[in-house]
């Protein structure tokens, strides 16, 4: 009987030791994550949105339904104004059930009705009324509900890209970009870093104009997604989050961030599917009082956008 009691006692202590080790590992992981986050934050201290959260209360997007999260992603082209015209307009969707990420790029010169302002280029909606008016504009014209928004300051893009992809991103650089941006590069496949990569995604002075830029943005977003979720970057994620914070103004709640982040980290998220609005052969180049616009077949593009986002 004494021998049995000694064994039980020894087993109990061994279990307590394992529990202590688990707690220590959790504390160490938390401390490491916090250190990494603060390190990233210190590298991004000049971010435009460090203390700017004024659009959050104004945004009236409904909560996600059917496990699909729609986020309005906006690239800020600000020169110091509160609401400049948006340089890039994207709808990012993540389906929690199928683990499918999707990105829709809406051309900024798309000619639509902006509530209270009549027919305008769609990128003017942000200048008139911030993310909320742009949300209303997309809902009215395309019948798509947007749950959250995120405004990205492009000035922080180079720091984000260098942290996520320290070895650079390989892209096919056109001669026009090299000449226009006065870059010390040769045309063809090159590995770009930071500021060079920012020039690549914003360039639109070639024969394809804004269409080429949208294609380059979707290309780079997909490659950065792959880099961010690679094994070598998993332990740098807290640092990446800290670096992102001052460069992004968003109302995405913590629960949604954790759900999407967990799937991307564990590799459950599939490759990104992309769509561009307007579709090929669904628009005409026209000139109106607001300048050169893309006059679109609204019903054709509305149907394609809804079908793309509703499909699994």
Asked if residue 46 is part of any domain, the answer here is no
User: Is 32 part of a structural domain of the chain?
Assistant: no
Confirm whether 305 is domain-assigned. Answer: yes
Is position 22 within any domain? no
pLDDT greater than 50 at residue 27: no
Domain containing residue 160: CATH number: 3.40.630.190
Neighbours of 86 (CB within 10 A): 26
Quote the CA–CA distance of 122 and 149 in Å, as a whole number: 16
Based on the number of CB atoms within 10 Å of its own CB, is 273 exposed (0-12), middle (13-18) or buried (19 or more)?
Answer: middle
How many domains does the chain contain in total?
A: 1
pLDDT digits (tens, 9 = 90+) for 31-74: 444 444 455 555 555 555 544 555 666 898 888 888 899 999 99
Structural domain harbouring 202 = 53-310
pLDDT above 50 for 79: no
Report which of residues 40 and 149 the model is more confident about. Answer: 149
């Amino acid at each position: 009987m004494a021998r049995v009691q000694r064994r039980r006692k020894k087993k109990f202590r061994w279990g307590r030791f394992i529990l202590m080790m688990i707690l220590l590992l959790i504390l160490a992981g938390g401390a490491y994550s916090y250190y990494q986050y603060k390190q990233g934050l210190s590298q991004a201290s000049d971010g435009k949105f460090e203390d700017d959260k004024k659009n959050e209360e104004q945004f009236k997007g409904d909560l996600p339904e059917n496990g699909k999260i729609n986020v309005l992603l906006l690239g800020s082209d600000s020169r110091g104004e509160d609401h400049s015209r948006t340089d890039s307009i994207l709808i990012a969707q993540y389906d929690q059930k199928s683990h499918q990420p999707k990105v829709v790029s809406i051309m900024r010169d798309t000619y639509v009705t902006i509530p209270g302002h009549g027919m305008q280029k769609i990128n003017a909606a942000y200048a008139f009324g911030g993310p909320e008016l742009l949300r209303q504009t997309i809902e009215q014209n395309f019948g798509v509900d947007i749950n959250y928004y995120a405004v990205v300051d492009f000035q922080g893009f180079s720091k984000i890209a260098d942290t996520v992809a320290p070895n650079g991103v390989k892209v096919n650089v056109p001669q026009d970009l090299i000449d226009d941006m006065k870059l010390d590069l040769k045309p063809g496949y090159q590995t770009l870093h930071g500021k060079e990569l920012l020039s690549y995604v914003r360039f639109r002075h070639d024969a394809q104009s804004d269409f080429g830029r949208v294609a380059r943005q979707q290309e780079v977003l997909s490659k950065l997604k792959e880099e961010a979720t690679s094994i070598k970057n998993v332990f740098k994620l807290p640092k990446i989050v800290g670096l992102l914070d001052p460069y992004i103004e968003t109302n995405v709640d913590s629960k949604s961030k954790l759900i999407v982040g967990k799937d991307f980290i564990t590799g459950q998220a599939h490759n990104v599917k992309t769509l561009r609005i307007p579709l090929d052969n669904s628009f005409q180049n026209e000139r109106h009082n607001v300048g050169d616009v893309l006059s679109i077949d609204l019903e054709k593009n509305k149907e394609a956008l809804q079908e793309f986002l509703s499909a699994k």
